[in-house]
Structure 1
Amino acid sequence: MNIIILLQWMLGFFLFWRRNEIQESYDFDKDKRISVIIPARNEEKNIGNLLGSLKNQSIQIDEIIVVDDQSSDKTASIAKSFGVSVLQLKDLPDGWIGKSNACWNGYKFSTGDILIFLDADVTLSKNAVKSLLKVHQKYGGLISTQPWHNAVRVHEKLSAMFNIIAVMSMKEFSAIGFELKPIGSFGPCLVCSRKDYETSGGHEKIKNSVVDDVAIAKSFMKSALPVHNFLGGKLITFRMYPESLKSLVEGWTKNFATGASRSNPLFFLMIFLWISGYMNIIIYMNKISLAFYAFLYAVYAFQFYIFSRRVGNFGVISALFFPVHVFFFVFIFVYSLIRTFLFRNVDWKGRKIKTGGIS
């Protein structure tokens, strides 16, 4: 069993070998019109930070569009105070998921040659847009970025394992990721040309998908358009679910079971085996010598620290208490399976979203 636990630990480095961060660019020559589209629902605590960072970019953004998805707070008024375009939606059409509907309406309102879709909880460094455009110029197709998670409050630290697994599941960050097509994309930050967006069918094509980031990447690849995923590093950051533990549970419940059901079976198995290694550290603690147990615990904590610092500021304490993260992840995953496949709905921002179950 000791050898198996070590092999499971090594499997983690295979799954998350490549960092693949967006590199800061200073020399991009803008030659196309840029539209930033921000779907927002009850984001009064976040939208100001994002818009402030967009106004401070080192490159001119031709239009910024906030699509207010029936917010009950001050999202729209705060956005208007920044002098950006605010598109207020009146209803959610049948068969649509809220975010996809907001993105689609933002696209129809926009005029840019390059479209940048940003979640409202994202914050950008001064050269972030320039760096994203440089990467898109090089690769084309769909460029997505997983922002670095600025976890401030204690409950926000519980997102560490989810962020790590979200990156691992993409395949591109594995030791052989440069040879593999990704399973999806990262929803908080997407960049593409208007032409490619229209070719793929855009968000209308995936209007009823709960896990829109997986669906839109597959839509691009089915249209023979490349998809490339990156980590945001210190250029692109976000705070996920800062409001409360409830919002964190709802958010990850919405994403994880459905996303797992659409993941690559081999990578799903490898991630399961890797997580099982962390669980074995606790399960077999009374069946191995104290010295060897201390060694195993230390190397697993070290690995958790290495991986978690790539995706956010989760810190040394989170790494030392990695069993808390593992069991919280397992709880949310099981709960998500129940909501997704048994009850066939999940809660998110005051709406019940139908998941469709297994079908």
Structure 2
Amino acid sequence: MSRPFRAYRLAVGAFFAVKGATLLVNALTFPRLRPRPTPPGGPRVSLLVPARNEAHNLPHTLPGLVAQGAHEVLVLDDHSEDDTARIAHDLDARVIPGQSLPPGWHGKPWACQQLAAAATGDVLIFTDADVLWHPGALGAVLHALERSGADLLSVYPRQRNVTPGERLLTPLVDAVLLTFLPEPLLRFPHPSAAAANGQLMAFPRRSYERVGGHALVRAELLEDVALGSRVKAWGGRLALALGGECLGVRMYRGYAESVEGFGKSAGSVHRGSRALMAASLGWHLAAYTLPWLLPARRLPGLAALRAAGLLERTLVNLLTGRRAPADLAEGLLGPVTPLLALPVYLRAMRRRVSWKGREYDQ
């Protein structure tokens, strides 16, 4: 066995060992929401939905949101070209026409800033139009917010993938969170120990206003993670939770849509560095794909690396509660996942990216 192969095996083995240890820590510590009744006499809650061309989602998601019994449900129609505003109005939400995008702002932060200005609740909960709210979800979120004492609670809804194309990349959102960020690390005050998910972000109003709201991240493509980091930099407390049975989401409706969505944010994840993106792609090819191209009979240890790459997504899905046979079988995609992600990296390396009909510089 050659020295280069021993070094390669050690490096990749250490990579999977660290990710496995992180996943184990999160299995023991990461909060999961459980349905709860809305507390009587609790705070006034504003449920806030930024919506741009969401006519295909709102008939499925807005009834569950309205049924939570919050003080108000506000939908900001961000210059939609479909029936977003009419559908939201017909489903008993208060519709706010979006103002024109000011210079220096990106679309979603501006939409959320307008929603916060119009809201009257003591708790502001921003939630995307594709998030499914099940009975007891609002009570669960409020309980987690109060118990954690957080200035920002962000929840990762359970992934709901319908078509085969959705399964190729979309579930990696959970894998990145649960294998790279140990939940106890959130207790450290440094802003780099942060994550957040714009699909659901809950703030006590006083905390949101004190930190400066979405104006803090007005020009960020990955505004949710940036806002989580800024909250910690301000000295606030950040908490995360898994949506469990309370909250679900169908983020993208196929492989092409996943590539477009992840390509919009991958540049920010890698701090805009094309060199870092190229290194990330190369490393994942080496860790997940290369073990299947090398001769296992002549190189001891490859079987363990192959097994680790196959098991990772399956174990993540078990932790998030995605336990149907098709969900668990997603682990078999491990060896080809870096190849499937190649278009995401190529898209993220462009100088400009597009999202929901708008273009942004990276």
Both proteins in one fold, TM over 0.5: yes
1:237 equivalent to 2:248? Answer: yes
Paired position in structure 1 for 2:114: 105
**Alignment of structure 1 residues 186-197 onto 2, 5 Å:** 186-197=197-208
| Structure 2 length-normalised TM | 0.84
Give the alignment partner of residue 49 of structure 2, picking from 27, 38, 43: 38
CA distance in 2, matches of 1:329, 1:15: 23
Let me know the Cα RMSD of the aligned residues. 2.7
Paired position in structure 2 for 1:260: 270
Stretch moving more, 246-255 or 323-332:
323-332
Give the alignment partner of residue 315 of structure 1, picking from 310, 322, 327: 327
**Alignment of structure 1 residues 173-322 onto 2, 5 Å:** 173=183, 177=185, 179-181=187-189, 182-242=193-253, 244-261=254-271, 276-283=286-293, 285-286=294-295, 288-289=297-298, 293-294=302-303, 296-311=305-320, 313=322, 315-322=327-334
Stretches of structure 1 that go unaligned for 5 or more consecutive residues are 264-268
**Alignment of structure 1 residues 64-213 onto 2, 5 Å:** 64-138=73-147, 139-158=149-168, 159-169=170-180, 171-173=181-183, 177=185, 179-181=187-189, 182-213=193-224
CA contact (8 A) 1:233 1:310 kept: no
CA contact (8 A) 1:160 1:312 kept: no
Query: Cα 1:321–1:274, aligned 2, differ >3 Å: closer, same or farther?
Result: closer
1:285-331 CA distances to partner (integer Å, 9 max, x unpaired)?
Answer: 22544996555433431232111343474623321232222322244
Match of 1:221, SS state, is helix
CA distance in 2, matches of 1:21, 1:275: 32
Runs of 4+ in 1 over 6 A off after TM superposition: 269-275
CA contact (8 A) 1:148 1:310 kept: no
Give the alignment partner of residue 23 of structure 2, picking from 10, 16, 32: 16
Deviation at 1:234, TM superposition (A): 2.3
CA distance in 2, matches of 1:302, 1:149: 18
Deviation at 1:102, TM superposition (A): 0.6
Paired position in structure 2 for 1:327: 339
1:60-92 CA distances to partner (integer Å, 9 max, x unpaired)?
Answer: 301000001111111111111111100111421
CA distance in 2, matches of 1:291, 1:203: 52
1:56 equivalent to 2:63? Answer: no
The residue identity in structure 1 corresponding to 2:172 is M
1:31-82 CA distances to partner (integer Å, 9 max, x unpaired)?
Answer: 211101000111111112221111332xx30100000111111111111111
Deviation at 1:16, TM superposition (A): 2.4
CA distance in 1, matches of 2:35, 2:100: 40
Query: Cα 1:178–1:42, aligned 2, differ >3 Å: closer, same or farther?
Result: closer
Paired position in structure 1 for 2:358: 351
Deviation at 1:187, TM superposition (A): 1.1
| Structure 1 length-normalised TM | 0.85
Query: Cα 1:280–1:7, aligned 2, differ >3 Å: closer, same or farther?
Result: farther
The residue identity in structure 1 corresponding to 2:230 is S
1:6 equivalent to 2:13? Answer: yes
1:138-171 CA distances to partner (integer Å, 9 max, x unpaired)?
Answer: 22310001111101111111222343114444x2
CA contact (8 A) 2:46 2:123 kept: yes
Identity of aligned residues (%): 25
Deviation at 1:29, TM superposition (A): 3.7
